[in-house]
């Protein structure tokens, strides 16, 4: 009897331990979303000058992922209750294809994110965190380095409430993809990470941003081209009326740019164009009409008569801490477009990563000039021999 009783106790103990472990694992799994949520909310609460919160966390262990729902961030000193950052749903998961290449990295897919910059809310104060503070806090939420990034149906907005009327410039339907951010593939390339974004801008214009970047560096290297096409110029009226006292009755606004950054040195340009614009509106006051008529006279003199386009090209260059523009080059570009040759309504394909790199590395720049001189000598020698 004693032996039989001992066997029963042994069997109970043998099954009790695995059952207890299973119960603990189930309990931990059920509590895990709350644990992650509390940790994220703690991280957001520790950003000086900002407050934020996460509403819900979903965990999918089978694919190594979790979904952050209802994340927002705003300034403590903000005069409005509109969140600066509003991310309704962000899916963060392990990028499985990179595991086969020996790297454990993550991918993020964000749906309907919003970045709304309200001018009055974002005025800097001594208690506020810098951009590095809150961006670092957001990246701390993600435990693994990001390699692939997507945005779907995003929104970017600039709002100034003190202007009369309020300024509200938006980019909607923002789509973006960035790949190989941690250089899992083609890590030997100078700019290994392709970047592509599109969107619908204010005035129903079409926005596009393409290029390549290298985020591994402390100051990322990049080579980007930007275009904003066929935006209705009247969408700028609140902005232009507030700052320069003019508004558009009709016309198109476009903007093209190329930017290259190498070792903290930037080289590029901005090229805004106004096509078939008319300034004086029927509802303007007499003083507004006089001012717009004065501006309109110079617009008529300086625009390209064949294309009915007023344009300028603003060169930008220098160390990122001291980027400069050339006033004379900018002024000359207005006359060049109006009186010499109309600017193309596209990027000029004249800025390359090598341009920024050669200026960032003067020794290399000298070597390039020396190499070019040597090439010219060889070409002249070959020409003589023929």
**Same domain as 275, residue 166:** no
Q: What is the pLDDT of residue 189?
A: 86
Provide the 8-state DSSP code for 333.
H
Q: What is the pLDDT of residue 126?
A: 47
Q: What is the pLDDT of residue 191?
A: 93
CB 246 within 8 A of CB 291: yes
- Among 133, 166, 185, the domain boundary falls at 185
**Same domain as 235, residue 165:** no
**Same domain as 218, residue 134:** no
The answer to whether the predicted template modeling score (pTM) of the entire model surpasses 0.75 is yes
Provide the 8-state DSSP code for 340.
I
CB 172 within 8 A of CB 199: yes
Residue 341 within any structural domain of the chain: yes
Q: How many angstroms separate the CA atoms of 98 and 146, rounded?
A: 11
| C-alpha of 76 from chain center | 24
Residue 2 within any structural domain of the chain: no
Q: What is the pLDDT of residue 332?
A: 86
| C-alpha of 11 from chain center | 62
Domain with 177, as residue range(s), is 33-185
**Same domain as 229, residue 175:** no
**Same domain as 224, residue 172:** no
52's enclosing H/E stretch is strand 50-53
Residue 13 within any structural domain of the chain: no
Residue 80 within any structural domain of the chain: yes
| Alpha helices (H) in the chain, listed in sequence order | 2-45, 96-99, 131-140, 237-244, 286-302, 327-335, 353-360, 362-385
**Same domain as 216, residue 166:** no
**Same domain as 152, residue 230:** no
**Same domain as 124, residue 51:** yes
**Same domain as 255, residue 368:** yes
CB 196 within 8 A of CB 218: no
**Same domain as 129, residue 250:** no
**Same domain as 181, residue 217:** no
Residue 335 within any structural domain of the chain: yes
Provide the token pair at 77.
């000193």
318 bridge partner residues? 266
Output the tens digit of pLDDT for each of the chain's 386 residues.
555 656 555 555 666 777 778 888 888 778 888 888 999 999 888 888 888 999 999 988 878 889 999 999 988 888 888 888 999 999 999 898 888 888 889 999 999 999 999 988 876 554 555 566 677 778 888 878 899 999 999 999 999 988 878 889 999 999 999 999 998 888 778 899 999 999 999 999 999 999 999 988 888 999 999 999 999 999 998 888 888 777 888 999 999 999 999 999 999 999 999 999 887 665 666 556 655 665 665 566 678 888 999 899 999 999 988 888 888 888 888 888 887 888 999 999 999 998 898 888 776 656 666 766 776 777 777 677 66
Residue 285 within any structural domain of the chain: yes
**Same domain as 155, residue 242:** no
Residue 275 within any structural domain of the chain: yes
CB 211 within 8 A of CB 195: yes
Q: Cβ atoms within 10 A of the Cβ of 42, count?
A: 9
Provide the token pair at 372.
């070019």
DSSP letters for 271-285: EEEEEEEE---TT--
168's enclosing H/E stretch is strand 167-178
Q: Classify each residue of 354-367 as buried b or exposed e, where b means 16 or more C-beta atoms within 10 Å of its C-beta.
A: bbbbbbbeeeeeee
Total count of domains within the chain: 2
Q: How many angstroms separate the CA atoms of 7 and 260, rounded?
A: 77
Q: How many angstroms separate the CA atoms of 199 and 170, rounded?
A: 10
- Among 142, 167, 185, the domain boundary falls at 185
Provide the token pair at 340.
């010499």
In degrees to the nearest 10, what's the CA dihedral of 20, 21, 23, 26? 180
- Pairing of the two strands 221-232 and 265-278: unpaired
Residue 115 within any structural domain of the chain: yes
Q: Cβ atoms within 10 A of the Cβ of 108, count?
A: 19
- Among 185, 220, 253, the domain boundary falls at 185
């Amino acid at each position: 009897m004693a032996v039989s009783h001992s066997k029963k106790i042994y069997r109970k103990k043998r099954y009790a331990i695995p059952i207890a472990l299973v119960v603990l694992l189930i309990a931990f799994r059920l509590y895990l979303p709350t644990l992650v949520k509390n940790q994220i909310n703690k991280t957001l609460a520790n950003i000086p000058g900002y407050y934020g919160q996460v509403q819900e966390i979903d965990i999918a262990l089978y694919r190594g992922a979790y979904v952050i729902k209802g994340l927002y961030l705003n300034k403590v000193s903000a005069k409005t209750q509109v969140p600066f950052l509003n991310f309704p749903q962000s899916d963060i998961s392990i990028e499985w294809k990179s595991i086969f290449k020996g790297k454990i990295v993550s991918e993020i897919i964000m749906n309907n994110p919003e970045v709304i910059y309200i001018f009055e809310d974002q005025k800097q104060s001594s208690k506020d965190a810098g951009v590095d503070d809150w961006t670092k806090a957001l990246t701390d939420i993600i435990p693994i380095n990001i390699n692939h990034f997507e945005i779907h149906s995003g929104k970017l907005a600039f709002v100034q409430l003190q202007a009369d009327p309020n300024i509200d410039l938006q980019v909607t339907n923002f789509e973006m993809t960035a790949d190989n951010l941690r250089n899992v593939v083609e890590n030997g390339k100078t700019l290994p990470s392709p970047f592509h974004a599109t969107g619908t801008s204010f005035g129903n214009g079409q926005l596009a941003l393409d290029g390549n970047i290298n985020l591994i560096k402390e100051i990322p290297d990049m080579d980007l081209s930007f275009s904003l096409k066929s935006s209705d110029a009247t969408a700028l009226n609140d902005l232009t009326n507030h700052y320069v006292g003019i508004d558009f009755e009709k016309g198109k606004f476009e903007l093209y740019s190329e930017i290259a950054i190498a070792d903290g040195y930037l080289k590029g340009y901005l090229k805004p164009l106004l096509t078939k614009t008319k300034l004086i509106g029927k509802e303007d006051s007499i003083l507004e009409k006089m001012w717009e008529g004065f501006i309109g006279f110079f617009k008529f003199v300086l625009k390209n008569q064949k294309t009915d386009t007023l344009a300028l090209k603003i060169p930008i260059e220098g160390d990122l801490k001291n980027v400069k523009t050339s006033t004379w080059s900018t002024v000359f570009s207005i006359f060049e477009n109006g009186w010499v040759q109309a600017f193309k309504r596209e990027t000029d394909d004249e800025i390359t990563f090598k341009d920024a790199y050669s200026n960032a590395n003067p020794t290399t720049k000298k070597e390039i000039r020396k190499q070019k001189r040597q090439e010219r000598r060889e070409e002249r020698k070959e020409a003589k021999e023929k």
